[in-house]
Amino acid sequence: MSDRINVDNNEIEKFSRLADKWWDLNGEFKPLHDINPLRLDYIDRHAQLAGKTVLDVGCGGGILSESMAKRGAASVLGIDMAEESLKTAHMHAAAQSLDNLAYRCVSVEDLAAEMPHSFDVVSCMEMLEHVPDPASVVRACAKLAKHGAPLFFSTINRNAKSYLHAILGAEYLLALVPKGTHDWQKFITPAELARMTRQAGLNVYDTCGLAYRPLTQHYYLCDDVSVNYMIACRAP
């Protein structure tokens, strides 16, 4: 066990309070359900999930983990430090008899020490902005990936526009997510994330923005990384 677990207890408590809402398609996690087909297709396009061993770091209630298992991955392991969220993920997966999907309550750093270079694909989506030391997560993800494996990270840029869109807009004006979901100071610029990946020995080979049209309530992929964005990396 790590001497200092890379966890913000306030974040764990926040998501634990919402644990029974993960699979409410019109509830607090509706934006995650809405963007999930986009991020799933992005990962599958770059990683060809069919037959692969996949790790989903910060899986929450299992929205992305389940979709990757259904897309044909040989096995998917979702990990998270919020036990209540994992209970929801377990129950939802069991109801669909997904035998290629498992969940564990373990930190990514501890799993990296236990299972280095074990996964064909590693995803860590909408999680880095919720931990005290995101660079530690990136390093652990890099260690967990097999040589040459693709890794995927998504987070939110830190600038005036992201404050307007992700905090004022999403939390207060449009009520897309609960108030207090995000802390703008924990947002991560693409340059900062690129530096973290480089220091972890990873090579970034694709960057993609994710934007929202309020009038049509539609999410779409784009080249604009000023708010939400994803990157694809490769392990050496």
Q: Residue 155 corresponds to which tokens in the numbers above?
A: 């987070």
pTM value is 0.90
- Tens digit of pLDDT for each residue in 180-228? 666 767 899 999 999 999 999 999 999 999 998 888 889 999 999 999 9
| Whole-number pLDDT of residue 1 | 42
Which are the contacts of 91, defined by CB distance < 8 A and separation ≥ 6? none
Residue 236 has pLDDT above 60, yes or no: yes
Helix, strand, coil % (nearest 5) of the chain? 40, 20, 35
Q: Describe the strand order of the beta sheet including 101-104 as a list of residue ranges.
A: 101-104, 75-79, 53-57, 121-125, 150-156, 228-234, 203-213, 218-222
| Whole-number pLDDT of residue 206 | 98
147 — phi, psi (to 5°)?
Answer: -60, 125
The distance in angstroms from the start CA to the end CA of the chain is 26
- Tens digit of pLDDT for each residue in 121-152? 999 999 999 999 999 999 999 999 999 999 99
Assigned CATH for 9-155+188-207: 3.40.50.150
| Whole-number pLDDT of residue 178 | 63
181: DSSP letter: S
- Tens digit of pLDDT for each residue in 153-178? 999 999 888 767 666 666 545 556 66
Model confidence band, residue 2 (pLDDT cutoffs 50, 70, 90): very low
Domain-by-domain residue ranges, the chain?
9-155+188-207
Element (H, E) at 10: helix 9-17
- Tens digit of pLDDT for each residue in 86-118? 999 999 999 999 999 999 999 999 999 999 999
- Tens digit of pLDDT for each residue in 50-82? 999 999 999 999 999 999 999 999 999 999 999
